[in-house]
Structure 1
């Protein structure tokens, strides 16, 4: 199992099975400018509106170059959270290409382990089910699962199911459409709310 540590110099993370216990962190999630704007961090920091992540979050704490620079406390749909900010200045986006290059070997091993898992699971259960389905939300996690499954199974061996709850952000709809273009041979079942498209 790979451990996660900070790559402080590059405002990034490293995957390594030899990471020292004291350097190991809980896997953070990337934070994009939309979240920072929504919470009100744009009052404290200058940052670009970019597709790349700007910060990392563990729980409700926000990290930049491996250091905690803010925390959000309280708040709900009607009230803004209290923001405790310890850093003032400009945020530079994460260099995603560099992060991928630095983690390339670890990512390759993880990818192959996932491919083996899907292959073994499919062989073990394919006679017990009528059809194999991949649930697709349009988000990053289900995109990775779909990619891995598509490397193992032929397009006639499974269907992809997308359900639009009506609460998806525009990016989700864009991603579903792009996925349909990339995986044209797949059976993508579902529809987009407010759209005349119904996939079958």
Structure 2
């Protein structure tokens, strides 16, 4: 065998061994992750919290915390307490952060989700009939088998969302971003 052919054979063998090693390592990681998941019977015994129709705050604390210490010449800065409740008339829809939340099989018809951040949220089999989702971010969300009849989805980001089997009859999709969305079996307006 000539030297260039021998090198090519060696490179090919090395690439095959490395590829096989990566596949074996990936399979091991996948198996390890699957064995450490919470069993489904534990999840079914955990009570599902009620979700109020007025979600005016992010699910996590996002406000800055005052931590400055008083010095010799400056008085201490009072730390404001977080407001306990916000009246529905003062709701700022742009502060709703429901990204990654599991809302599968929920009736969400009375919720105001305008401009809500819901990227990656699981809304499978939920009822969003007539809900205002205009300007919301639903990129990568699971909306399979979801009832979206007469929903306002104008200016909504649905890129990469799973809308397979969703009912979009009468929905407003004006200026919605649907690049990469799965619409297999969806009932379209």
The TM-score normalised by the length of structure 2 is 0.30
Q: Which has the higher helix share?
A: 1
Larger radius of gyration: 2
Select the structure with the greater relative contact order (CA < 8 A; seq sep ≥ 6).
1
The TM-score normalised by the length of structure 1 is 0.29
